[in-house]
């Protein structure tokens, strides 16, 4: 009587090795997410400069870095701290962008193993990120646009698509090279 235990054991061994190779080390996730978050933060500011400032004339170009300060702490606080509004707003912008980048890098291996394309996942991630951030802003401050206005929603989704698509492509590339290195 023959047994398939040895064959199944080898198959199980191969599957666990593939799963281990598919999961990048935590340090690589942090590195990829931080790099992607920084790139996404720059791209979204370029979008805001072109669209919000250049096309829609919603704010002056100098208002972009300080915008986060007003959204989080209110207009009065933003005005009262002067030039520090730029420093705090820039810090808020980049810290949150890095956080969203690291979160995407942490969840990306799950979607990669299931065969999803990074840009496809990024579109839904953008919507999720916009909703979470703007619910938090609505709770934290009363100084924000009407987040129920369809124009604000569409503009917000568009800006976040500009953030998450490059973010996803960078994470995909950085974690793919890490998977190749760890497999060899």
Per domain, the residue ranges of the chain are 29-178
User: 148 pLDDT exceeds 70?
Assistant: yes
Please tell me the least confidently modeled range out of 2-11, 45-54, 130-139, 166-175. 2-11
Helix (H, G, I), strand (E, B) or coil at 141: coil
Of 37, 73, 80, 41, nearest in space to 174 by CA: 37
Q: What is the pLDDT of residue 183?
A: 44
Q: At what angle do helices 26-47 and 84-113 cross, to 10 degrees?
A: 120
With a pLDDT cut of 90, the percent of the chain lying above it is 62
CB 122 within 8 A of CB 43: no
Residue listed under structure tokens 């191969």: 14
CB 86 within 8 A of CB 66: yes
pTM for the structure as a whole: 0.81
Please tell me the least confidently modeled range out of 32-46, 136-150, 155-169. 136-150
């Amino acid at each position: 009587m023959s047994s398939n235990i040895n064959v199944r054991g080898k198959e199980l061994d191969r599957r666990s090795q593939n799963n281990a190779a598919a999961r990048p080390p935590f340090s690589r996730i942090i590195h990829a997410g931080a790099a992607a978050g920084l790139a996404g933060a720059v791209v979204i500011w370029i979008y805001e400069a072109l669209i919000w400032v250049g096309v829609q004339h919603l704010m002056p170009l100098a208002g972009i870095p300080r915008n986060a300060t007003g959204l989080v702490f209110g207009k009065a606080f933003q005005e009262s701290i002067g030039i520090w509004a730029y420093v705090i707003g820039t810090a808020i912008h980049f810290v949150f962008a890095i956080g969203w980048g690291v979160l995407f890098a942490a969840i990306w291996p799950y979607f990669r193993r299931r065969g999803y394309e990074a840009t496809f996942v990024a579109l839904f991630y953008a919507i999720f990120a916009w909703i979470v951030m703007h619910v938090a802003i609505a709770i934290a401050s009363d100084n924000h646009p009407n987040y129920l206005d369809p124009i604000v929603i569409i503009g917000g989704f568009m800006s976040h698509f500009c953030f998450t698509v490059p973010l996803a492509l960078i994470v995909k590339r950085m974690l793919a090279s890490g998977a190749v290195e760890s497999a060899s």
